[in-house]
Amino acid sequence: MPTLAQHETPISAEAIDVLLQHLARYRLTVSAAVAKLPQFNDCSRQSVKQLLRACRQRSLLNSAPLHSRQRYWHMTELGAERCGLTTDRIGPLSETAKIRAFALLHFCCLSDRLRHRLTAADITRSFPELHRPGLPTGYYFDPADAGQIGLARVDAGNHGRWDRVIETLRADIADHIRQPSFRRIVHAGRFEITLLTVFPEKAKRIAAALAQYRDVHRISVRVLSVPELLPLVLSVR
C-alpha cells in the first residue's frame, strides 16, 4: 500500500503512480476524491495535499480552475509519459468536458459509495464479452452486492431539451438490449443506466417522464441530481 508523507517524509513512487492512474481514469480530480481512494484511507487530508504539491513540483500534474472557489488537478505531458498515455489525455479540459468529467468523478469517488469508472482497457481485460468498437466512455463498476455494471450519462444543462435527454436514454436501453452480451447481464439484473443532472427537481421530472415509456422498464434506470455541478454550470453562462 502506498504511503503518503507528513512532515517532510519522502513521497513514495507507488503513491505517485496510484494518483496518476486515478487521473488517467477520470481526467481530473480534487483532493477530496484522492483522499477517498482505498489506497489512501489511512492518510490525512494534509498528506494528500502534500502528494499533489509534490507531483506538481515534479511537473507530473498541474491545476486549473474548477469554478470560482475551487481548483482541479490534471495530468501534464510528463505525467502522461510516465503512465504511457497519449497527449490527448493531458492539460486543462474544455468547460463542457470539465463538467462531464467532474460529474463522473463525483458519482464514482465522492458520493454515497465508491464506484469504479471502467476504461476501454478495463472492459477488454475484465469483461471481454462486452467489448466492441464505439462503446460509450461512461461505464462504471459498482462492487456493492453481487457487482453491478452501469453506464453514466451527464445532463450538464440547467434547462435544455427534455425530449433529447429522454430519447438518449431510450436509445441507450435499446442499444444494450440488442447486444447479446449486455442482454445477458441485463436479464441477470446486473446492468443499470444512471443519468446525472444538476437540480433535484429536474431529476424528479425526468424520472417521472421516463416512467411513461414501457421500454424504460427493461433496464434499471436511475436519475440522480448532483447539485455540486451547479457552480461549474453557472461559471460557463
Distance from C-alpha of 81 to C-alpha of 87, rounded to nearest angstrom = 8
Statement: residue 89 has pLDDT above 70? yes
Taking the C-alpha atoms of residue 194 and residue 184, their distance in angstroms, rounded to an integer, is 19
pLDDT digits (tens, 9 = 90+) for 68-77: 889 999 999 9
pLDDT of residue 62: 97
* Complete domains list, the chain, with CATH: 13-92 (1.10.10.10), 116-235 (3.40.1350)
Give the pLDDT of residue 51: 95
Cα angle vertex 228, ends 225, 231, to 5°? 120
Contact 34, 19 (CB under 8 A): yes
The single residue listed with the C-alpha cell 495530468 is 75
Q: Please give the C-alpha separations between residue 131 and each of 19, 134, 153, 171, 218, in angstroms, as whole numbers.
A: 26, 9, 19, 18, 21
Which three cell numbers mark 71?
Answer: 481548483
Return the DSSP state at 110: I
Percent of the chain residues past pLDDT 90, beyond the cut: 60
Identify whether the C-beta of residue 147 lies closer than 8 Å to the C-beta of residue 190. yes
Stated pTM of the model:
0.90
Burial pattern 39-65, b for ≥16 Cβ within 10 A else e, equals bbeebeeebbebbbebbeeeebbbbee
Q: What percent of the chain has pLDDT over 70?
A: 93
Alpha-carbon distance values, 130 to 116, 186, 218 (Å): 17, 12, 18
Say whether pLDDT at 8 is over 60.
no
Given a contact cutoff of 8 angstroms between Cβ atoms, the answer to whether 101 and 27 are in contact is yes
Q: Specify the pLDDT at position 132.
A: 83
Which band of pLDDT confidence, cut at 50, 70 and 90, is reported for residue 60? very high
